[in-house]
Structure 1
Amino acid sequence: MYNTLISAAQLAALGRADCIVLDCRFQLDNADYGHAAHAAGHIPGAHYLHLDYHLSSSKNGRNGRHPLPDGQRLAVDLGALGVDENTQVVAYDDGAGQYAARAWWLLRWLGHDKVAVLDGGLKAWQEAGLPIDAETPTRRSRRFPIRASLAGSVDADAVLANLDAKAFTVVDARSNERFHGIGETIDPVGGHIPGAVNRFFMNNLDAGQRYKPAEQLRAEWLALLGEDFDPAAIVHQCGSGVTACQNLLAMEIAGFPGSRLYPGSWSEWCSDPARPLER
């Protein structure tokens, strides 16, 4: 079973009978990109999941740019692709792995532990000399059961209360510039949640956009959070609850399971002018 990362060679060796591959490619400035890219060529048998349509729910201006999807609906979507409780799921994209990490987190949120991210994404697959095709993948409908969640989350009210309670530490996955409110171009307000610390999600990767070794990640997270930190007292956020999932995955790889996600993240937080911020 793979439940954090899987290499291209390991994925190629898996039999497709009990493995479903999810293509999660997406671009924030071109919502149609991923679907078109999948149609043009994908890992053989891979099904496409869209960040806005499958991995998020409708936004209303107050719940962030990528609210969590309805769990029952996502379970139906996954079952329609052939995912059941015994299926090994592998997610990939062609960026820094943030969209694949969102799918990874959501499956764990629904209680599915046999899910991994393809380390290095589509680029790693192609660099290994492995094929892509443009064939429509076969669907084999199954029932995907929702089980006890393996991924915790908190809402905006909990984050607001924590400003005084200080029961957990918020880790912001955005760039250092956006964290400090410099050059904000995505959200209408720049800055960060008071008391948050910054860990840019790209810092989890090496120059080839593969995850750093577990030992290196462990040392870097300890340097940020302290030698005696409790992963259960860590809450991750970003702009909209997507790249924060990459930090969650990195902590799992480093041997620090149990941290949580604030799904609404900065885009939800800054939508209410009554919530405080720092720059």
Structure 2
Amino acid sequence: MKIMRGYGIYLFSISLLWAFWLQLSAGPKGQSSFPEESPWFLSAESALHFSQYTILDTRSYLHRLKNKIPGSKVISWEELSRTDIPHKGELLELSLVRKKINELGIKENQFIFVLGDGESGWGEEGRIVWSLREAGFYNSYWIDGGYSALEKAIQKNSNVKGDNAIDLSVSQNRPKLSSSIRKEEILKGLPTKQFHILDTREPREFSGATPYGESRGGHIPGAKSFFYQDLFDAKGNIKSKSEVENSLKQLGIQKEKPIVAYCTGGVRSAFVVGILRTYGYNAYNYAGSMWEWSHDPKLPLETKN
């Protein structure tokens, strides 16, 4: 059964009891507590009563060709990012991001569901949601499990209709917060170990391999290897809060200190940041990541664990 029939788009809904928790943090500051945010991702089963939404499809071309979603908008994370060296991977100016999304016919207060390739991808859905939220599109979420999970949910609940009214006043009044951090802040915090630093790349990259265009190999001093793929369970869904917390505790990471995540160009790390912030961690994405950091010979790198 196809995920969409004809030219209509299936109706969605979700319980909003936990969707708009008060966000009290703004900036990478140490805190004794960091409240869970509005979730950055939704299970497919929970998305059955939204009456208005837009799907942003960030899957690979082949996956989009195989399973088309009528009415969806197609966008890639690269379209919202800089391509010039050494700033490759950084988010475009926020006004440009808003312009590109508005040109798709999407306004800031609309609900946006981002569909990615799940565990077979690079976390592009997380990067898109991070980019959107940075630009003020706070009603942005990615679908956990990707296309296959959403298709199964629709098959199981094909008779459910979206009839819940959505009150946008809460989301419109949210403070505009950032989950981004720049290299200058990271560098300044290294001597005092101000941040927990997570390297979300493959273990070989952490150890010094440069398969994706880094100028130099290694990792930021003090970083812990936290491969983004390890956040998926055996079914290809995001692990539970308790499972993620346990993994972080094994690395010596607690919630009292802010977390910085990076990868090669800020894609995998944005995915991880979305999960961590959903689970109550004060996490920030370093979008420039290793493309930027490794390009500057003055910035330190380590190759030993």
Instruction: Tell me the TM-score normalised to structure 1 length.
Output: 0.80
The one-letter code of the counterpart of 2:147 is L
Alignment partner, residue 296 of structure 2: 272
Asked if residue 243 in structure 1 is aligned to residue 268 in structure 2, the reply is yes
Say whether the 8 Å CA contact 2:265–2:290 is kept in structure 1. Answer: yes
How high is the sequence identity, in percent, across the aligned residues? 27
Match runs of 1:1-279 below 5 Å: 1=16, 3-15=39-51, 18-26=52-60, 34=61, 37-38=63-64, 41-53=67-79, 55-57=80-82, 59-64=83-88, 66-96=89-119, 98-128=123-153, 148-182=175-209, 184-186=210-212, 187-227=214-254, 229-231=255-257, 233-256=258-281, 258-279=282-303
Q: CA deviation at 1:176?
A: 1.4
Say whether the 8 Å CA contact 2:108–2:136 is kept in structure 1. Answer: no
The one-letter code of the counterpart of 1:278 is E
Q: Distance in 1 between matches of 2:78 and 2:231?
A: 25
Q: CA deviation at 1:148?
A: 4.9
- Please say which of residues 199-208 and 154-163 is displaced more in the overlay: 154-163
Matched residue pairs, number?
249
The one-letter code of the counterpart of 1:206 is D
The one-letter code of the counterpart of 2:228 is F
> How big is each residue's C-alpha offset from its partner over 1:97-135, in whole Å with a ceiling of 9 and x where there is no partner?
6101011111221233222110001122234465xxxxx
- Give structure 1 stretches of 5+ with no counterpart: 27-33, 131-144
- Give structure 2 stretches of 5+ with no counterpart: 1-15, 20-38, 156-171
Alignment partner, residue 135 of structure 1: none
Q: Distance in 1 between matches of 2:284 and 2:137?
A: 16
- Flag the 1:72–1:213 CA change in 2: closer, same or farther, 3 A: same
Q: CA deviation at 1:164?
A: 1.9
Q: Distance in 2 between matches of 1:5 and 1:155?
A: 24
Instruction: Tell me the TM-score normalised to structure 2 length.
Output: 0.73
